[in-house]
């Protein structure tokens, strides 16, 4: 049976990159298992590993799946197929999103479940945890855009470095915003305007970055 060329390109990426995604998902699962074990040190180490696993998945995937394809000269092979550059971009965005969302969504859903039901963290931590969990998604969108638009691994690495600098500053910013920290220890989840505003921004920025990537790619005159 023959499906669309874009469909075949997506399928190809799933075949090529399932191992690193499986590894990232397994690492996030191991981190959450550590959290479930309880105790101050395992919970602290588990939370740190949880974010590292998501950040690694979001940062490595665009470098492996997009930048490497150019570096290893596979792109000329793909572009010899009956597709346009914008179809290639579509395939890359969809396959990368699928691959990233597998570990990210799994980890976030399990994380929310742990906060909600296991009594390890106070439920009031949920809004801040979700804000933090969105950061790797934004990093993924930024790095994906950078390697697609910039066309070199260098742009991907620069975006990677930028994200790694921004993350600790963002954490520091959260600690300094009283409205975000006020309900962290609350026995119920409190959605105040500060947390909702930041989440809304994060929620909007992800599609905005991918949309901008798509727009810039559609205006390119030279592709390979």
Partner 1 sequence: MSDPAIELSGVRKNYKYFSLDNIHLTVPEGQIMGLIGPNGAGKSTTIRIILGLVHQDSGEVRVLGHRMPAEQIAAKWDIGFASEDMRLYESLTIGWHMDFMRRIYPKWDAAYARLLLKRFGLRADQKVKGLSHGQRVKATLLMVLARKPKLLVLDEPTTGLDPVARHEILRELTAVMADEGRSVLFSSHNTHDVEQISDRVTFIDRGRIIDSMDKEVYLERWRRLHLEVPHGVELPVLPGIIGVRRDGRLAIATANAFVPDLAHAYESSGARVHSVENMTLEEIFVANVEYSREEVEA
Which residue stretch of 49-57, 111-119, 182-190, 215-223 sits at the interface with partner 1 (rule: CB under 8 A)? 215-223
8 Å CB contact between 63 and 69: no
Q: Does 70 bind partner 1 (CB under 8 A)?
A: no
Q: CA torsion, points 77, 81, 84, 89, in degrees to nearest 10?
A: -60
Please state the closest distance from residue 196 (CB atom) to partner 1, in A. 44
Q: Is 220 left (phi over 0), alpha (psi -120 to 50) or beta?
A: beta
Q: Does 223 bind partner 1 (CB under 8 A)?
A: yes
Q: Does 76 bind partner 1 (CB under 8 A)?
A: yes
Residue 3 makes CB contacts below 8 A (sequence gap 6+) with 11
Question: In this chain, which of 48, 79, 175, 177 binds partner 1, going by CB under 8 A?
Answer: 79
Residue with smaller CB distance to partner 1, 55 or 83: 83
What are the φ and ψ backbone dihedral angles of 200, each rounded to 5 degrees?
-65, -40
Q: How far apart are CA 50 and CA 36, in angstroms?
A: 12
CB neighbourhood size of 73 (10 A): 9
Q: Does 219 bind partner 1 (CB under 8 A)?
A: no
Please state the closest distance from residue 83 (CB atom) to partner 1, in A. 6
Q: How far apart are CA 210 and CA 195, in angstroms?
A: 23
Q: What is the DSSP letter of 80?
A: T
Q: Does 222 bind partner 1 (CB under 8 A)?
A: yes
Q: Does 193 bind partner 1 (CB under 8 A)?
A: no
Q: How far apart are CA 21 and CA 132, in angstroms?
A: 20
Q: Which two tokens stand for residue 198?
A: 């930041």
Which residue stretch of 1-9, 122-130, 135-143, 183-191 sits at the interface with partner 1 (rule: CB under 8 A)? 1-9
Q: Does 91 bind partner 1 (CB under 8 A)?
A: no
Which residue stretch of 3-11, 27-35, 103-111, 140-148 sits at the interface with partner 1 (rule: CB under 8 A)? 3-11
The alpha carbons of the chain give a radius of gyration, in whole angstroms, of 19
Please state the closest distance from residue 4 (CB atom) to partner 1, in A. 9
Question: In this chain, which of 168, 172, 178, 221 binds partner 1, going by CB under 8 A?
Answer: 221
Q: Does 83 bind partner 1 (CB under 8 A)?
A: yes
Q: Does 189 bind partner 1 (CB under 8 A)?
A: no
Summarize as ranges the residues that interact with partner 1 (CB under 8 A). Answer: 1-3, 5, 8, 12, 15-16, 72-74, 76-77, 79-85, 87, 221-224
């Amino acid at each position: 049976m023959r499906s669309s060329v874009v469909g075949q390109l997506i399928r190809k990426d799933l075949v090529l990159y399932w191992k690193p995604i499986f590894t990232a998902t397994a690492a996030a699962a191991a981190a959450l298992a550590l959290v479930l074990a309880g105790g101050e040190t395992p919970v602290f180490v588990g939370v740190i590993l949880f974010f590292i696993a998501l950040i690694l998945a979001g940062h490595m995937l665009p470098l492996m799946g997009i930048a490497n394809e150019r570096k290893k000269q596979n792109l000329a092979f793909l572009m010899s197929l009956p597709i346009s550059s914008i179809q290639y971009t579509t395939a890359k965005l969809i396959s990368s999103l699928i691959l990233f969302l597998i570990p990210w969504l799994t980890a976030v859903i399990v994380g929310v479940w742990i906060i909600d039901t296991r009594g390890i963290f106070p439920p009031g931590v949920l809004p801040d945890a979700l804000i933090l969990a969105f950061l790797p998604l934004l990093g993924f969108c930024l790095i994906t855009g950078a390697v697609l638009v910039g066309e070199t691994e260098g742009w991907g690495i620069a975006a990677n470095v930028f994200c790694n600098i921004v993350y600790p500053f963002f954490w520091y910013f959260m600690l300094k915003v009283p409205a975000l920290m006020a309900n962290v220890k609350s026995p119920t989840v409190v959605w105040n305007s500060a947390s909702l505003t930041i989440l809304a921004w994060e929620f909007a920025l992800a599609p905005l970055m991918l949309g901008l990537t798509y727009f810039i790619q559609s205006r390119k005159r030279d592709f390979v």
